[in-house]
Every structure is written in C-alpha cells, then in structure tokens.
Amino acid sequence: MSEEGTITIKKQDLWKYSTFVLLAMLVIGGIYIYSGKGTTGNIVNTNPTAPTAPTEPSKVSASIDDDAVLGNKNAKVTIIEFSDYQCPFCERFWSQTLPEIKKEYIDTGKVKFVYRDFPLESIHPMALPAAIATECAKKKGGDDAFWKMHDKIFENQDSLSVDNLKKWAKELGFDISSCLDNQETLSEVKKDMSDAQAAGTRGTPYFVINDKPLSGAQPFSAFKQVIDAEL
C-alpha cells in the first residue's frame, strides 16, 4: 500500500489477476447460459414445435380430360384419382377402398370414377411405362380395355416389367408392344402429370371429388363423408 492509501499492484501480478477474473467471468457466463435462461430471464425453448404442414385447399380444379371413366358418365359426383402404378399406397386404395366405393356408389350410378396418371419417376422407375401401357390399352380397346389393364397391373404390382406389361396385355386380348416401345401415348401421360400438379398434387394417391381434394390412401369412411355431402 502506498502512502496515499491506494493499492499498488506490480505489472507482472496484474496480468495474473486479470486472467483469473476473465476465467471466472467465462465460467459464470457458461453456467448462466447452460441453465436455459436468456437475457430476459425467460426459459429458452430448446425443443421448438415442428412446422405445420400446408393446409389442404378447400377447393381445387381438375378435369376428367379424355381419360377412362368407370361408371355412369352422367353421375352427380365425379372422383378423379391421380395415381402411380408402382405406388404401394395406390395399390392399397385399389385393393381395399375402391371396391367399397364401387359397390355403394359407382355400381348404383351415383358416382363416376376417373383414373389419371401421376407416375413418380424418381422413385418408381416402372410407373411411367405402366402408365403408357394402360393408355396404349385404351387406344386399342377403349375404356373397357383400359380398366382391365389397370386392374391387371395392380394385381401384379410386384412383378412390373416392360416384358410383363406386354404379356399381360396379350393375355387380355390386345397387343401393345409397338405402342409401348414407341411411347405412343406418352403425351397423354404427360398431360395428366401437368394437370395433377396444377390441381395441387404433392404425392399419390391424390383425389379430387367434385373439386374437393382428398390426399392419401384414405379409408372408405373418408370418401363416404365427402360423397354423401355432394349427393
């Protein structure tokens, strides 16, 4: 201590003390941050809520174009399906839900059903050839041939190949080999894909029921609710 009553610290000791103080401040600050408090004293949310999925629009626009129709063409309700022949959820709809819709609404003339193509080429390499094949069948034998080929493909989804597509078509009574090899119906499939995107399709299956969208392999009850409201 000096004569004036002040504390005198040697230069070499000053460095030591300042280093000690700095370390102490870092430790205290780290404990403060780790405790989960911000500068306002509120608890920091370390587990934020996941973003909410986009809300399904209440109304979309989609036409049947010139695609195959199943059921009464003058039915009050129209169901348009945008689908992929290699999609397992599309197969689930075809095998589990469509038969119920057909029995209660299509066969009774209340609903017409339209299949439109939306092959997800990046994950389903056989979806596009299958779509071209069904359109080739329609070109050869009309709507009836289309639906027979449509059903044949979903029945044998695990065995999809170009050779099998040609084989199945022959078993049904028509030759699509040249049409499939030359991709003669590709423009029809591409038109469906473009319309699907315009209608808000983000995945398959995707349905438009009298301009009301419905996504995914929904149970029969979900379709029934929308159909009955339209009827």
Question: How confident is the model over 151-166, as pLDDT tens digits?
Answer: 999 999 999 999 999 9
State mean pLDDT over 122-147: 97
What pLDDT is stored for residue 202 in this prediction?
87
Q: Which two tokens stand for residue 144?
A: 């009836």
- 54: in domain: no
* Co-location of 126 and 183 in the same domain: yes
* Co-location of 22 and 131 in the same domain: no
Mean pLDDT of the chain: 82
* Co-location of 92 and 148 in the same domain: yes
- 53: in domain: no
- 132: in domain: yes
* Co-location of 173 and 224 in the same domain: yes
What pLDDT is stored for residue 25 in this prediction?
54
Q: Which two tokens stand for residue 112?
A: 């017409």
What are the residues whose beta carbons fall under 8 Å from the beta carbon of 146, sequence distance 6 or more?
Answer: 68, 115, 134, 135, 137, 138
* Co-location of 135 and 177 in the same domain: yes
Q: Are 169 and 136 in contact (CB under 8 A)?
A: yes
* Co-location of 7 and 89 in the same domain: no
- 64: in domain: no
Domain coverage including residue 130? 69-230
Cα–Cα distances (Å) from 225 to 106, 144, 219, 222, 231, in that order, read 15, 29, 11, 5, 10
Q: Which two tokens stand for residue 92?
A: 């689930």
Q: How many domains does the chain have?
A: 2
User: Phi and psi (nearest 5°) for 208?
Assistant: -125, 115
Round to whole Å and give the CA distance between 37 and 40.
Answer: 7
What pLDDT is stored for residue 14 in this prediction?
42
Give helix 186-198 / helix 127-155 axis angle, nearest 10°: 90
Assess whether the previous peptide bond of 119 is cis (omega < 30° from 0): no
Count Cα atoms within 13 angstroms, Cβ side, for 58: 0
Bridging pattern class, strands 69-71 and 77-83: unpaired
Say whether 42 sits in a helix, a strand or coil: coil
CA dihedral 59, 63, 68, 73 (to 10 degrees): 80
User: Phi and psi (nearest 5°) for 120?
Assistant: -90, 85
pLDDT in tens, 205-227: 999 999 999 999 999 999 999 99
Q: Which two tokens stand for residue 123?
A: 């994950």
pLDDT in tens, 60-109: 878 888 899 999 999 999 999 999 999 999 999 999 999 999 999 999 99
pTM recorded for the entire structure: 0.74
Q: Are 115 and 106 in contact (CB under 8 A)?
A: no
- The answer to whether residue 3 scores a pLDDT higher than 90 is no
Task: Estimate the share of the chain in helix, then strand, then coil, as percent rounded to the nearest 5.
Answer: 50, 10, 40
* Co-location of 84 and 160 in the same domain: yes
128: CATH: 3.40.30.10
Return the percentage of the chain with pLDDT > 90, whole number.
Answer: 71
